[in-house]
């Protein structure tokens, strides 16, 4: 009994302390020294990305502490491998919808429930084209968080040693030659990971993004697939893509097997220079630089055509990995305003921008800015390369943003089979087509 | 004679609370779940009734049937193996040997490890320990990571299930073996039976109830297996080892098809209910009245 009572007492103590702490927060003074008469409490679901969660938490903590907008943000943590809809549907059901959410493929599911950003200052600041994916039936459901790019990441030291200049690789054959040159130096040309999401979302995008020169054409192919009318094998771009798939497979470190699904192994191989390249995206750059702090890691296109100058051969896939949405169903008008205020702080103020786009080692989240008026920009090698690609307009669409929920899993399963040598080209194509039937 | 009033009072005291909890946490959600299957529920709200469309879609969904088939195979394999192993273990540890108590504990222990942890342990064994074992022994079975091939990944799940569940069934069988009347065994000894005859003709019929319970528990657990499936194979390779629970979960939460996921869950319930009722009805026939 005594034990139980002590536990109750200490629990009560903690509760009291927590209340004190909370009211202490709420009654804090603003930067201008004035007290907040009323603090608007809002919630933010998740930490955008697990890689930068500490920086994100620190940023929110500072925002809450300064209390400039009289807004208190509470982070609702959610495990990273749990589907977004699993987290969000019970919260809505319980009447505790998060005020701010970040997602990509679930935007169409969320669109009827979230704030329309049309005409909002932040939406006006967003880079041209970045709102397209988040615009559902004329409603701007989300605003971009950052841009990410994927392609062939390379270790500059390895390529320099092999005498390979990435700028000179403009066709698939030249890529094969480069692989040969890297091999001769005793290093594996590439690590081509068998991760389902890398194959299913990113590598399949290389086909879809190259498939047509304009967005209408690319979306038309998705529609044809959905209607079951597309014959992939008769598409020369698809054939080029498969040839590239084979090329990467044939040159990967060890052998291509679905045992090779360890992200960290890819980081290690490229970082220490056991492999010259890695099909991945710039989110790996902090990992690579942690492993080899003085290394230089860049990103180059995946040239799938053998004719230089073909659309897409010189471009990397750039897109917005997450959009910020604000609940408009359960959040009050004040809470919606408060949510906009938080995002505005991140995107337009010097302190916010330092957190948003500052270097990871300085506590920033290293996001590539996709808004006008950013004074802070990432300084790393890969990030500046990506900025150059964006400036030169050499970017491919993330068609995978337009994949319906669940498609990338089905694509990933089919691609893993092909990668593993379990299916041939015809089966692979048939399985990609069948993935749309569900 | 008790009055009606007393009856109501007694009911209120003993049954009202459990009954209302049962209704609140089981009947109501279940009814609501069935209701959702006739709508276009998208996880948030319902705009219209769609009749049997979801059921028709489920019947036409290849993935659903593939998972259902795999689940039935998994249920069959684990039903047989868990009970055979559990029963044999029970026979072993009821023999008058040294250290049987220690053995009982050891066999039961895996049951105390949660499914997710169990999955991670075996993932390590299949992925990291097997290759080392293969190098040391040269036995080819250990060379491949079992989790990377559809067939072996399936058997990997069965093996882990047997490892986890058979100790629990063993306890039930031990209790049953111990409760067999000594008179019956002594009488059969006098009649000149051998050990095999005693096992099949005396012991097993007299403990038929234990089989009913164990078979039911094994079957139910196998049909509903989720955590082990998720943590051991995650449905891989290429999504070919998704048992029905995982399939239902992915349909709803990953694909965002809440109504059709819910429909598949209801169908899963129907299949399990039929299988369980049939199994209990059949097993009951073998039970002996004492």
Q: Classify strands A323-326 and A100-103 as parallel, antiparallel or unpaired.
A: antiparallel
Shared-domain flag, residues A278 and A349: no
State mean pLDDT over B24-46. Answer: 91
Shared-domain flag, residues A75 and A211: no
Shared-domain flag, residues A338 and A395: no
Shared-domain flag, residues A314 and A344: no
State mean pLDDT over A187-201. Answer: 92
Which residue from B95, B155, B168 is spatially nearest to B126, judged by alpha carbons? B155
Shared-domain flag, residues A97 and A227: no
Give yes or no for residue A28 having a pLDDT over 60: no
Collapsed DSSP state (helix, strand, coil) of residue A95: coil
Shared-domain flag, residues A115 and A260: no
Look at chain B and count its residues: 290
Out of A333, A351, A374, a domain closes at A374
Tokens of B160: 């882990």
Chain B interface mutation, best of A81, A258, A407, highest count of B Cβ atoms under 10 Å = A258
Count structural domains, chain A. 2
Which of A245-249, A253-257, B50-54 shows the highest mean pLDDT? A245-249
Is A20 among the domain residues? no
Give yes or no for residue A49 having a pLDDT over 60: yes
Shared-domain flag, residues A192 and A302: yes
Give yes or no for residue A42 having a pLDDT over 70: yes
Min Cα separation A313/chain B (Å): 30
Is A1 among the domain residues? no
B238 touches chain A (CB under 8 A): yes
Q: Which of A238-247, A305-314, B144-153 has the lowest mean pLDDT?
A: B144-153
Interchain proximity A438–B255, CB inside 8 Å: yes
A389 burial level (CB within 10 Å; 0-12, 13-18, 19+): buried
Give yes or no for residue A416 having a pLDDT over 80: yes
Interchain proximity A438–B42, CB inside 8 Å: no
What pLDDT is attached to residue B97? 83
pLDDT tens digits, one per residue of A64-105: 998 778 899 999 988 767 888 889 999 999 999 999 999 988
Share of chain B above pLDDT 70, in %: 99
A86 touches chain B (CB under 8 A): yes
Measured between alpha carbons, how far is B284 from B263 in angstroms, rounded to an integer? 32
Task: Give the model's confidence band at B2: pLDDT under 50 very low, under 70 low, under 90 confident, else very high.
Answer: low
Shared-domain flag, residues A73 and A181: no
Q: Which residues in chain A touch residue B152, judged by CB atoms under 8 angstroms apart?
A: none
Measured between alpha carbons, how far is A244 from B159 in angstroms, rounded to an integer? 40
B43 touches chain A (CB under 8 A): yes
Cα end-to-end distance, chain A, whole Å = 58
Give yes or no for residue A38 having a pLDDT over 60: yes
Q: By the 8 A CB rule, do B124 and B118 touch?
A: no
Q: Classify strands A395-396 and A316-319 as parallel, antiparallel or unpaired.
A: parallel
Shared-domain flag, residues A224 and A111: no
State mean pLDDT over A20-39. Answer: 50
* Residue spans of alpha helices (H) in A297-368: 333-348, 350-357
Name A70's Cβ contacts closer than 8 Å, sequence gap at least 6: A30, A36, A37, A38, A39, A40
Helices and strands in chain A, H and E counts: 18, 13
Give the CA count within 13 Å in the CB-facing half-sphere of B285.
Answer: 5
Judged by CB atoms within 8 Å, which residues 350-369 of A form the interface with B?
none
Q: Structural domain of residue A211, as residue ranges?
A: 149-318+385-437
Interchain proximity B250–A438, CB inside 8 Å: no
The C-alpha R_g of chain B, in whole angstroms, comes to 24
Task: Give the model's confidence band at B27: pLDDT under 50 very low, under 70 low, under 90 confident, else very high.
Answer: very high
What pLDDT is attached to residue A35? 65
ipTM of the modeled complex? 0.75
pLDDT tens digits, one per residue of B196-251: 888 888 888 888 889 999 999 999 999 999 988 988 888 878 878 899 999 999 88
In Å, what is the CA distance from A253 to each residue of A265, A292, B57, B148? 11, 19, 43, 19
Please report the domains of chain B, with CATH numbers, ordered by start residue: 1-27 (no CATH), 61-285 (1.10.3720.10)
pLDDT tens digits, one per residue of A248-301: 999 998 777 777 778 889 999 999 999 999 999 998 988 898 899 999 999 999
Give yes or no for residue A346 having a pLDDT over 80: yes
Tell whether omega for the bond before A180 is within 30 degrees of 0, i.e. cis: no
Is A67 among the domain residues? yes
CATH of the domain at A290: 3.40.190.10
Task: Give the model's confidence band at B1: pLDDT under 50 very low, under 70 low, under 90 confident, else very high.
Answer: low
Interchain proximity A89–B255, CB inside 8 Å: no
Which residue from A263, A375, A372, A370 is spatially nearest to A318, judged by alpha carbons? A370
Give the CA count within 13 Å in the CB-facing half-sphere of B107.
Answer: 26
Is A19 among the domain residues? no
Look at chain A and count its residues: 438
Min Cα separation A258/chain B (Å): 7
Is A141 among the domain residues? yes
What pLDDT is attached to residue B245? 92
What pLDDT is attached to residue A2? 36
In Å, what is the CA distance from B15 to each residue of A90, A237, B19, B250, B288? 31, 69, 6, 38, 32
Is A23 among the domain residues? no
Shared-domain flag, residues A283 and A421: yes
Shared-domain flag, residues A250 and A343: no
Its sign, for the CA torsion A383, A237, A405, A335, is positive
Shared-domain flag, residues A197 and A72: no
What pLDDT is attached to residue A391? 80
Mean predicted lDDT score pLDDT of chain B: 89
Interchain proximity B61–A438, CB inside 8 Å: yes
- List, edge to edge, every strand of the sheet that includes A323-326: A71-76, A40-45, A100-103, A323-326, A143-144
CA dihedral A432, A224, A128, A384 (to 10 degrees): 30
What pLDDT is attached to residue B132? 85
Out of A355, A374, A393, a domain closes at A374
Measured between alpha carbons, how far is A160 from A141 in angstroms, rounded to an integer? 45
Is A277 among the domain residues? yes
What pLDDT is attached to residue A380? 85
């Amino acid at each position: 009994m005594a034990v139980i009572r002590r536990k109750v007492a200490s629990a009560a103590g903690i509760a009291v302390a927590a209340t004190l702490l909370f009211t202490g927060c709420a009654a804090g003074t603003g930067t201008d020294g004035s007290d907040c008469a009323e603090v608007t409490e809002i919630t933010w679901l998740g930490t955008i990305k697990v890689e930068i969660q500490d920086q994100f938490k620190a940023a929110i903590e500072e925002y809450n502490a300064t209390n400039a907008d009289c807004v208190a943000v509470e982070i609702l943590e959610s495990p990273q491998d749990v589907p977004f809809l699993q987290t969000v549907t019970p919260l809505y059901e319980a009447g505790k919808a998060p005020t701010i959410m970040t997602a990509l493929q679930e935007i169409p599911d969320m669109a009827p429930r979230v704030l329309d950003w049309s005409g909002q200052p932040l939406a006006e600041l967003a880079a041209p084209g970045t709102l397209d994916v988040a615009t559902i039936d004329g409603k701007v459901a989300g605003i971009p968080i950052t841009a990410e790019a994927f392609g062939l990441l390379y270790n500059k030291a390895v390529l320099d040693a092999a005498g390979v200049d990435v700028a000179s690789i403009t066709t698939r054959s030249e890529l094969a030659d480069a692989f040969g040159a890297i091999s001769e130096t005793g290093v594996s040309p590439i690590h081509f990971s068998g991760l389902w999401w890398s194959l299913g979302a990113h590598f399949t995008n290389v086909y879809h993004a190259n498939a047509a020169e304009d967005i209408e054409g690319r979306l038309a192919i998705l529609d044809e697939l959905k209607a079951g009318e597309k014959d992939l094998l008769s598409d020369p771009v698809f054939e080029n893509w498969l040839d590239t798939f084979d090329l990467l497979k044939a040159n990967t470190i060890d052998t291509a097997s679905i045992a090779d699904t360890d992200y960290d192994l890819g980081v290690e191989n490229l970082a220490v220079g056991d492999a010259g390249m890695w099909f991945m995206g710039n989110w790996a750059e902090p990992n690579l630089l942690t492993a080899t702090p003085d290394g230089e890691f860049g990103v180059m296109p995946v040239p799938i055509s053998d004719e230089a100058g073909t659309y897409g051969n010189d471009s990397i896939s750039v897109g917005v990995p997450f959009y910020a949405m604000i609940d408009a169903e359960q959040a009050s008008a004040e809470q919606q305003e408060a949510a906009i205020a938080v995002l505005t702080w991140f995107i337009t103020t010097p302190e916010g921008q330092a957190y948003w786009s500052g270097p990871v080692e300085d506590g920033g989240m290293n996001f590539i800015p996709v808004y006008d008026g950013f004074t802070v920009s990432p300084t790393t090698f890969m990030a500046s390369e990506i900025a150059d690609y964006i400036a030169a307009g050499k970017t491919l669409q993330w068609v995978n943003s337009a994949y319906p929920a669940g498609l990338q899993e089905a694509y990933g399963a089919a691609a893993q089979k092909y990668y593993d040598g379990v299916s041939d080209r015809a089966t692979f194509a048939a399985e990609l087509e069948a993935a749309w039937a569900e | 004679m008790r009055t009606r009033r007393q009856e109501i009072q007694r009911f209120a005291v003993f049954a009202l609370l459990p009954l209302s909890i049962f209704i609140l946490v089981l009947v109501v959600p279940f009814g609501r779940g069935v209701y959702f299957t006739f709508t276009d529920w998208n996880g948030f709200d319902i705009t219209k009734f769609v009749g049997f469309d979801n059921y028709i879609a489920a019947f036409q969904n290849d993935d659903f049937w593939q998972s259902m088939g795999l689940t039935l195979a998994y249920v069959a394999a684990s039903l047989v193996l868990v009970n055979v192993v559990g029963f044999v273990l029970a026979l072993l540890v009821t023999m008058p040997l040294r250290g049987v108590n220690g053995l009982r504990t050891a066999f039961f222990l895996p049951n105390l490890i949660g499914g997710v942890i169990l999955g991670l342990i075996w993932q390590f064994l299949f992925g990291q320990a097997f290759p080392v074992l293969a190098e040391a022994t040269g036995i080819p079975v250990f060379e491949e990571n079992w989790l990377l091939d559809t067939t072996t990944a399936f058997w990997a799940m069965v093996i882990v299930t047997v490892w986890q569940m058979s100790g629990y069934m063993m306890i039930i069988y031990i209790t049953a073996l111990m409760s067999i009347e000594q008179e019956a065994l002594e009488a059969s000894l006098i009649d000149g039976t051998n050990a095999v005859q005693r096992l099949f003709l005396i012991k097993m019929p007299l403990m038929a109830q234990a089989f009913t319970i164990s078979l039911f528990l094994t079957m139910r657990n196998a049909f509903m297996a989720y955590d082990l499936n998720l943590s051991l194979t995650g449905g891989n390779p290429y999504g070919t080892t998704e048992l029905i629970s995982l399939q239902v979960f992915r349909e709803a939460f990953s694909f965002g098809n809440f109504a059709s996921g819910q429909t598949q869950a209801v169908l899963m319930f129907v299949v399990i209910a039929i299988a369980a009722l049939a199994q209990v009805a059949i097993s009951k026939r073998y039970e002996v009245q004492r």
